[in-house]
Every structure is written in C-alpha cells, then in structure tokens.
C-alpha cells in the first residue's frame, strides 16, 4: 500500500525532473537506481537514468550503464525509520510501487511508459524489470 505523503513527495520530485529536462532521442529505457544512504538510520535515495540501450534479459543491468541522461545528484531521499519494515526488500517494493503508479497515472508518466522498458534496483545488485513494452 502506497504511503501517500511519500508518494506525493516522490511525484513532485519526478514531475520537476521530467518537466524540466528533455530526454535525449537516444533514450531506449529508464532505470531507477536505489542507494542505501544509511542502513542504521534507514535512509534511502533514488536516481533516474535514461539509458541508450535496453536488454530485458540482462538481469545484471549492464544496459543501464549506457547513460543517455541522468538526474545525477538530484535524487529523491526517503527516511523509512518510522515504518514497520525497514529492510532493503521493503524499500525496493515501495519504490517499485511508486514508479509503476507514476508511469500509469503521473503527470509525465507517458514519458516513462513510452520507453521500451523500465527497471529498478540497488546499484550494488541486480535490476528488476518493472515495465517492458509489448
């Protein structure tokens, strides 16, 4: 279940990024990189990358390293210390749910869903494909 205050802040961040940046024509897919800023304090960040390649069979996500554009240091940070579950799996599920919701219903969701695919994952792990064009 989406926590609305976190989702509203996430959509404001993503709206700002997508409204103010024209994605390169070479964009094939989008990747949302997750970062564990502080495991002890349960603080995590997410970054948006437009990739010039897409390979849904590549679970390691080498294709996502072919960056056409990145939000760089403009990341969305969340503190989940007040939540019941505080592990990386929960954070992954929370962000995956928010990205899917935004792609379907967000102001600029069509930019994300017009790509060949979207993936999400911690930068030190595998990527999960959360959307693949038919």
Q: What are the tens digits of pLDDT across the range 31-69?
A: 999 999 987 888 999 999 999 999 988 877 899 999 999
Q: What is the pLDDT of residue 58?
A: 81
Are 112 and 96 in contact, with CB atoms under 8 Å apart?
no
Please say whether the beta carbons of 102 and 10 come within 8 A: yes
| C-alpha span between 132 and 59 (Å, rounded) | 13
Distance CA 28, CA 72 (A): 18
pLDDT band for 4, please (50, 70, 90 cuts).
Answer: low
| DSSP letter, residue 1 | -
- Model confidence pLDDT, tens digit, residues 90-125: 899 999 999 999 999 999 999 999 999 999 999 988
How many domains is the chain partitioned into structurally? 1
Decide: 54 and 67 in contact? Cβ < 8 Å.
no
Cα(89)–Cα(45) distance, integer angstroms: 14
pTM as predicted: 0.92
Q: What is the mean pLDDT of residues 5-17?
A: 95
Decide which of 51 and 83 is more confident: 51
43 HSE (CA, 13 A, CB side): 7
Nearest 10 degrees: Cα torsion 11, 17, 23, 29:
-40
**Contact indicator for 76, 10 with CB cutoff of 8 Å:** yes
Domain extent at residue 26: 4-132
Q: Which of 13-22, 45-54, 76-85 has the lowest mean pLDDT?
A: 76-85
Confidence band, pLDDT 50/70/90 cuts, at residue 86: confident
Above 60 in pLDDT, residue 2?
A: no
């Amino acid at each position: 279940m989406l926590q609305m205050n976190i989702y509203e802040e996430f959509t404001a961040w993503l709206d700002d990024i997508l409204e103010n940046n024209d994605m390169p024509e070479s964009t094939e897919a989008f990747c949302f990189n997750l970062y564990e800023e502080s495991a002890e304090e349960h603080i995590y960040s997410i970054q948006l990358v437009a990739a010039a390649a897409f390979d849904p069979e590549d679970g390691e996500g080498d294709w996502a390293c072919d960056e056409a554009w990145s939000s760089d240091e403009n990341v969305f940070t969340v503190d989940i210390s007040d939540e019941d579950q505080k592990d990386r799996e929960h954070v992954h599920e929370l962000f995956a749910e928010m990205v899917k919701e935004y792609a379907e219903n967000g102001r600029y969701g069509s930019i994300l869903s017009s790509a060949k695919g979207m993936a999400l994952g911690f930068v030190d792990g595998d990527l999960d494909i959360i959307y693949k064009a038919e």
